[in-house]
Amino acid sequence: MSDRQRAAALAAAAVTVLFWASAFVSIRSAGSAYSPGALALGRLGTAALLLSVFALVRRVGWPARGAWPGILISGLLWFGGYMVFLNWGERLVDAGTAALVVNLGPILIAVLSTRLLREATPRSLWIGMGVSFAGTVVVGLSMSGGGSSSLLGVLLCLLAAITYAIGVVAQKPALRHGSALQITTYSTLVATVALLPFAGLLITEVADAPVSATLNMLYLGVGPTAIAFTTWAYALARTTAGKLGATTYVVPALVVFMSWLFLDEVPGWLTLAGGALCLAGVAVSRRRDAAAPPSPGAAAPSPGAAAPSPGAAPSPDAASGHRPEEASPRPDAALPGTPTALRDLSGG
């Protein structure tokens, strides 16, 4: 992958984490007026409408057969199930517990992508994720306010982390058969259809919800879903799932900064230290490990090996002047905030 493609993927990932970090304010407002299922349906319905219109304008066609397993799995588990589990679980646990459990997601992504996608997971990735996860725990505990947690809430947050990880790993192969816009659009439509049983509840709650809560729900559909999930898919097609998942550990640090900037909630030193750990871990995870030296005797010829005979016929490659090249990697193989709202550290 060229430096230009790598920079484009990094920029797309940056757009994603910025929107996911900004989602905490909207979730906090909309979640006070909407139940978990209704909020998820309203958010996804908004995103599905926007993406469908854009896909029609861009003349995005029906996905190839090979893309559908990933579309269905990511649409049902990640786009749909994850949002319901997260919205529900966050109501039953304190922010620190939510941050601890939900942010197991990137680690699960790395494990699953190694086993199922055969992706390389260099040592720097594991070290970086460990540092970032520790930072997430520090931030969450420092801002939890000593709230209580229920076993059901912990299980729901764990389900959110699991469905998030499975959805990302399932989406990766689908991106070999379609564009980021196409895969995201149809995954959103699948999730919206799956959540239609909450339609009656959504209609009832819209009538009673304040305008600000409804506007925040719409924002969640436009920014953190329609735009952010598309830029995520664009980046995922150009990097490994494990490395991109580790990038989302930037979100907790951004949440702390946004809480300070927009809500005048000044973080303590412990919170700032946790945010710094998150950023340091992401930086470490994106480092490239040095190439391992060849094993002794594996590449070096034996002292007694005979040199080519001067009269031997040259190989076809040598005769033509062509030098075999290494196979270039596929682009897709080369590569979820405030003291109470930190529950959305996973990206909303």
Whole-number Å distance between alpha carbons of 20 and 291:
34
Does residue 300 surpass a pLDDT of 70?
A: no
pLDDT in tens, 45-87: 999 999 999 999 999 999 999 999 999 999 999 999 999 998 8
Distance of CA 304 to the CA centre of its chain: 54
Other beta carbons within 10 angstroms of residue 43's beta carbon come to 33
Q: Which residue has the higher pLDDT, 172 or 25?
A: 172
**Mean pLDDT calculated for residue range 240-244:** 89
Residue 229 pLDDT class (50, 70, 90 cuts): very high
Terminal alpha carbon distance of the chain = 30
Q: Which residue has the higher pLDDT, 195 or 264?
A: 195
Q: Which residues contact 157 (CB under 8 A, 6 or more apart)?
A: 85, 86, 89, 90, 93, 97, 98, 101, 102
Q: 22-32 burial, b if ≥16 CB within 10 A, otherwise e?
A: bbbbbbbbbbe
Residue 267 pLDDT class (50, 70, 90 cuts): low
Question: C-alpha dihedral over 30, 53, 332, 286, to 10 degrees?
Answer: -40
Residue 144 pLDDT class (50, 70, 90 cuts): low
Does residue 193 surpass a pLDDT of 70?
A: yes
Q: Which residues contact 132 (CB under 8 A, 6 or more apart)?
A: 106, 246, 249, 277, 278, 280, 281, 282, 285
263, 291 contact by CB (below 8 A): no
E strand map for the chain: none
Q: Which residues contact 265 (CB under 8 A, 6 or more apart)?
A: 259, 338, 339
